[in-house]
Amino acid sequence: MATDVREACGSGQQINKCPADWDPRSPEIQRDQIGAYDRMRETCPVAYSAYLGWSLFRHEDVLRVLGEHETFSNVVSRHPSVPNGMDPPEHTPHRRMIEPYFAPEYIAAFEPAFRRIARELVEHLRANPSCDVIRDFAEPYAVRIQCGFLGWPQSLHVPLLEWIYRNRAATLARDTEAMATVALEFDGHIRAQLAMREGGGAAGVDDFTTCLLRQTVDGKRLNHAEIVSILRNWTVGELGTIAACVGIILHFLAGRPDIQDRLHRDRGALPQAIDEILRLHGPLISNRRVATRAVTIGGRTLEAGDRITVMWASANRDGSVFADSEEFHLRRDQSQNLLYGAGIHICPGAELARMQLNIVFDELLEGLEPFSLLPGAEPVRAVYPASGFSSLFLTPA
């Protein structure tokens, strides 16, 4: 963290973009992202860096950005992003188009398949207790349930897992050329699924992917670029986020045998516990916005076109909103939890994700003996833009 943070920000003095307030990629920040963001929230809640633009760490500032879409635009990429990267009025019909796919009655039909996948992986974990639970449990679970939801074949499980590893390596190396290549590779998987369906290879299949090929917005059929964008959002984002969630919750429960025992005895408390654990350690670190006009926020002046990063992982630990914000409280009011966002861009798949997580931890608590962290195997923390852990080993308690 920059040594001038308190001088630049703590005094309330308005500072322009130079010098940077902090370096989000510094080793100090990456060693413990959550703790570093807590410090930034207290010392420099609106901070500038060349890498992220303006980062917002306080709950009230993040909530303001989420609510004022006329001032803080979601159109942050030159590539299509449907509907995440759209503003009203374009956003409205596209959002309305995807919402039926996440209706309770639609996602409920996937519960048996998700539970079967979770049970199989728990059996694998029981047979291989010394395995890395991120690589051998969390990531396979994310890939298999997402393929099941989208209607993609089992033959994609291994290629998608290998894609996750290559994408992570390229991101960690900050290799923009490799990242672009990996992104194109993923789009290739999606286009192959579309081509198979259009060629009759999925005749009679009525899955998410096939339905998108027939989908219209305002009477106009979606084009391939729009469909690829939707499917990319619901695979790339979900694969990383669901796997991160599983790792974060496992790590927490391994260190809290009291909570583990409570949830083993009372599965009905799982949904509340999961939301609270993920409030403490957000699986999604941040999202981007761009200012459409000059605006003052947190005492800093942003100009039209300035990049903004809303720091979910910090906002959800803001002590002005959450009493004892660094402590786990099972019965905490979660109405201000921004785990799934807020406003018009709130995650449409929130209930799907909650179901997926509730199922896998229900099966874990049913199928595993009490567990703890493996002594001598230090968990490896993920680094920005990822969250959670890239490696985690458990052992029977």
Q: State the CB neighbour count (10 A cutoff) for residue 58.
A: 21
- Give the pLDDT confidence score for residue 238 in this predicted structure: 83
pLDDT band at 176 (very low <50, low <70, confident <90, very high): confident
- Give the pLDDT confidence score for residue 3 in this predicted structure: 30
Give 56-114 pLDDT, tens digit per residue: 999 999 999 999 999 999 999 888 899 999 999 999 999 999 999 999 999 999 999 99
Q: Which domain holds residue 366?
A: 5-396
CA nearest neighbour of 239 among 352, 382, 356, 142: 142
Average pLDDT for the chain: 91
* Strand-pair partners of 380: 391
CA nearest neighbour of 253 among 278, 233, 217: 278
- The answer to whether the beta carbons of residues 2 and 51 sit under 8 Å apart is no
- Give the pLDDT confidence score for residue 322 in this predicted structure: 98
Per-residue pLDDT at 2 exceeds 60? no
Give 247-289 pLDDT, tens digit per residue: 999 999 999 999 999 999 999 999 999 999 999 999 999 999 9
- Give the pLDDT confidence score for residue 175 in this predicted structure: 84
According to DSSP, residue 222 is labeled: P
CATH number of the domain within which 19 lies: 1.10.630.10
DSSP 88-115: TTTHHHHHHHHGGGGSHHHHHTTHHHHH
Per-residue pLDDT at 12 exceeds 60? no
- Give the pLDDT confidence score for residue 14 in this predicted structure: 42
Per-residue pLDDT at 18 exceeds 70? no
CA nearest neighbour of 299 among 10, 50, 67: 10
Instruction: Please give the average per-residue pLDDT across 176-185, as a whole number.
Output: 88
Distance CA 199, CA 105 (A): 30
Per-residue pLDDT at 201 exceeds 90? no
Per-residue pLDDT at 8 exceeds 80? no
- Give the pLDDT confidence score for residue 9 in this predicted structure: 54
For the chain, what is the domain count? 1
Give 203-240 pLDDT, tens digit per residue: 556 788 999 999 999 999 999 999 999 998 888 878 89
- Give the pLDDT confidence score for residue 160 in this predicted structure: 92
CA nearest neighbour of 24 among 288, 258, 208: 288
- Give the pLDDT confidence score for residue 71 in this predicted structure: 97
What does pTM read for this prediction? 0.93
pLDDT band at 10 (very low <50, low <70, confident <90, very high): very low
Give 121-164 pLDDT, tens digit per residue: 999 999 998 899 999 999 999 999 999 999 999 999 999 999 88
Q: Which long-range contacts (CB under 8 A, 24 or more apart) does 295-303 make?
A: 295/71, 297/46, 297/56, 297/61, 297/64, 297/65, 298/45, 298/46, 298/56, 298/58, 298/61, 299/12, 299/14, 299/46, 300/14, 300/15, 300/46, 300/48, 300/54, 301/14, 301/16, 302/54
- Give the pLDDT confidence score for residue 249 in this predicted structure: 98
Quick check: helix, strand or coil at residue 298?
coil
The least confident of 178-192, 265-279, 306-320, 350-364 is 178-192
Instruction: Please give the average per-residue pLDDT across 342-353, as a whole number.
Output: 95
